[in-house]
A and B are shown apart, each in its own frame.
Chain A
Amino acid sequence: MNNPSYPPFGLIPSWPWTTPDKLQRQEQTQPPANPAPQPTGTPASNLQELGQLAPPEQPDSHIHCMTIVGQIEGHLVLPPQNKTTKYEHVIPQLVAIEQNPKILGLLIILNTVGGDVEAGLALAEMIVSMSKPTVSLILGGGHSIGVPIAVSADYSFIATTATMTVHPIRLNGLVIGVPQTYEYLDKMQDRVVRFVTKHSRVSEAKFRELMFRTGELARDIGTVLVGKEAVDVGLVDAEGGVEEALKRLNELVAEQRTQPGGPIQ
């Protein structure tokens, strides 16, 4: 403790020579665990070190791409075997995207198995209230709370093989014992149903019918919608891939440019 360079806060005592302002970010091309000095920077050295090629040089894009994958993590930090999207990072990113004059449109790539209701709805409400054009593309899956996030974009696409699971909300593993619990869950479910029906073409009756259908899911009631089925029921706007999604997004960007000041929704 008599070392004058001892860090003022937080850092563990075994590191008296480390002060927070001496932190330097790691060169991304350098593997952190390898103690040997490595040549960095060129694609060839990348190939040697990581077996990975650097992506081709790109001109600056006016479209920002946000991926929402795995579990939507809510108020509880999930154990590390979960691949999660953390809402406390995505929300400020959306604010930054909304403010950044260089970004004209947002592409949201979804491959999520659902997650926390509050966090999912928070993301969906953020996306829906953005003034910049947004297009979502569901690849693989957009299940449960991924459904409101998918429909929150100005225009939504689903890949031909992608699926969406629509099923009721419940407290996992708990037995509903008192009427209040049931009413509370019902209210939570209504939030999702209301959001989805407001921002897509699906009617409330149809969405609830999909939610409570029996005989489709092995362990649950509900529906699995594959590709075009999600378009047919009106949840998603069109079937397509990255080409269609980017084309539509560029159209929306061009539309917004011709009518300045007016957010499209």
Chain B
Amino acid sequence: MILYTPIPLELILAGSEDFRPTYEEVDIRGCKVLVERTDASHASIVRILSTNPADFLDPTLFPGAVVTFQVK
């Protein structure tokens, strides 16, 4: 990997040692997404795993969007 940037590398990579996110794969309306749990019943979307390009223009699936796990 080559980073082409005026920002010093030590600034960019600061904290990468302890950066160990845990992701889960869930299904939202037929579209698989990777989420990172923020608390007991919420998670934020990290990545969309879809081959349908339209899913990537859906604002409810944008990375960072919050999803709620519904209790039965």
Contacts and interface: CB of A to CB of B under 8 A. Distances in A.
Interface of A: 5, 9-12, 15, 17-18, 20-26, 28, 32-33, 71, 74-82, 86, 88-89, 92-93, 95-97, 99-100, 113-118, 120, 143-145, 165, 167, 169, 171-173, 185, 188, 192, 217, 219-220
Given A10-B26, A32-B66, A22 B6 contact: no
A169 B28 contact: no
Contacts of A92: 48, 50, 53, 55-56
B72 A17 contact: yes
B69 A23 contact: yes
Given A18-B69, A25-B67, A78 B12 contact: yes
Contacts of B15: 79-81
A79 B19 contact: yes
B26 A97 contact: no
Interface residues of B, number: 44
B68 A114 contact: no
Contacts of B28: 23, 25
B9 A173 contact: yes
B71 to A, nearest CB: 6
Nearest to A220: B6
Nearest to B25: A10
B5 A71 contact: yes
B68 A32 contact: yes
B24 A23 contact: no
Contacts of B4: 114-117, 120, 144-145, 169, 192
A15 B69 contact: yes
A255 B38 CA distance: 48
A144 B2 CA distance: 12
* Ranked 6 nearest A-B pairs via Cβ: A114-B5, A172-B9, A96-B53, A92-B56, A79-B15, A95-B53
B53 A116 contact: no
Most buried by A among B3, B56, B70: B3
A75 B19 CA distance: 15
A205 B47 CA distance: 41
B16 A97 contact: no
A25 B57 contact: no
Interface in B45-68: 47-48, 50, 53-57, 60, 63, 65-68
B53 A99 contact: yes
